[in-house]
A = this chain, B = another copy of it.
Amino acid sequence: MASRTISDEDLLDKALGLFRTSGFEGVSLSDLSKATGLEKASLYYRYPGGKEEIALAVLQSVISWFEENVFLPLRTEDISVRERVTFVAARLYGFYGEGTKPCVFDVLSVPGGGAAIAETLKAAMQAWLQAFTGIALEGGFAPDEAERRAEEALITVEGALVLCRALQDPAAFRRAVDRLPELLVKK
Interface residues of A (CB under 8 A from B): 21-26, 102-103, 105-107, 109-112, 118, 121-122, 124-126, 129, 148, 151-152, 154-160, 162-163, 165-168, 172, 175-176
Report the copy number of this chain in the oligomer.
2
B23 touches A126 (CB 8 A): no
Residues of B within 8 A of A158 (CB): 158-159, 162-163
Q: Which of B21, B23, B121, B155 sits near A160, CB closer than 8 Å?
A: B155
Once the chains bind, are B151 and A175 in contact (CB under 8 Å)? yes
List chain B residues, Cβ under 8 A from A167.
122, 125-126, 129
Q: A92: shortest Cβ distance to chain B, in Å?
A: 14
Query: Is the pair A112, B22 in contact by a Cβ cutoff of 8 Å?
Result: yes
